[in-house]
């Protein structure tokens, strides 16, 4: 078994601690920014994920559930709340009638655009922390 180097372990712990702090700070920022827009962070994420698939402007309930790491029935309730708020609209799939597509409405598009702009700088800062943590001594 290889000997452990306490100074390397300490550096790793410091990098991991800093990363976890920055990640939590980013998540808190995201929660606050969504709240300032009058929505929840999950509503923001749902809207974001409707736009997250290349070549289309919608996502299925099951795709959103996967991206949110949530149960589909919970996502259905979230979609319903977003529909009531005028942010999204459900449509039956033209390809597979068993699927429901979630489309962003103009009000949702405006909120998403504002929030995505606000998140850009924060995300760049978090990416730099990740880069630094991945190059720290192991």
What pLDDT does 102 receive? 97
**Which tens digits make up the pLDDT trace of 17-48?**
888 898 899 999 999 999 999 999 999 999 99
Residue 130 lies in a domain: yes
Q: How many domains does the chain have?
A: 1
User: What would the mean pLDDT of 65-79 be, rounded to a whole number?
Assistant: 97
Is position 14 within any domain? yes
pLDDT for the residue 98 = 86
pLDDT digits (tens, 9 = 90+) for 86-117: 999 999 988 888 889 999 999 999 999 999 99
Would you say residue 3 lies in a domain? no
Average model confidence (pLDDT) across the chain: 90
On whether the CB atoms of residues 103 and 89 are closer than 8 A, the answer is yes
For residue 2, being part of any structural domain is answered with: no
Strand order in the sheet with 100-104: 58-60, 100-104, 88-92
Distance (Å, rounded) from C-alpha 16 to C-alpha 123?
17
Q: To the nearest whole percent, how much of the chain has pLDDT over 70?
A: 94
Q: Is residue 79 part of a domain?
A: yes
Domain region containing 46: 8-134
* pLDDT at 107 (0 to 100): 97
Is 1 a residue whose pLDDT tops 60? no
- Do 114 and 72 meet the contact criterion of CB atoms below 8 Å apart? no
> Above 90 in pLDDT, residue 62?
yes
- 6 CA to centre of own chain: 36
- Domain assignment present for 41: yes
* Strand, helix or coil for residue 96: coil
Residue 73 belongs to some domain of the structure: yes
The confidence score (pLDDT) of residue 136 equals 60
* Whole-angstrom distance, CA of residue 89 vs CA of residue 59: 11
Reference 67, options 47, 84, 83; nearest CA is 47
pTM of the model: 0.84
CATH number, domain containing residue 28:
1.10.10.10
In a domain, 12, yes or no: yes
Beta carbons of 104 and 50 less than 8 angstroms apart: yes
29: left (phi over 0), alpha (psi -120 to 50) or beta: alpha
């Amino acid at each position: 078994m290889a000997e452990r180097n306490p100074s390397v372990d300490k550096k790793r712990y410091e990098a991991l601690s800093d990363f976890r702090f920055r990640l939590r700070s980013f998540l808190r920022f995201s929660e606050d920014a969504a709240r300032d827009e009058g929505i929840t962070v999950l509503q923001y994420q749902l809207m974001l994920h409707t736009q997250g698939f290349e070549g289309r402007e919608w996502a299925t309930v099951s795709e959103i559930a996967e991206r949110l790491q949530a149960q589909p029935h919970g996502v259905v309730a979230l979609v319903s709340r977003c529909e009531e708020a005028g942010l999204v609209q459900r449509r039956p799939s033209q390809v597979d009638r068993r699927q429901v597509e979630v489309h962003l409405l103009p009000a949702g598009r405006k909120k998403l655009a504002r929030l995505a702009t606000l998140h850009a700088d924060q995300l760049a800062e978090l990416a730099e922390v990740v880069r630094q943590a991945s190059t720290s001594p192991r």
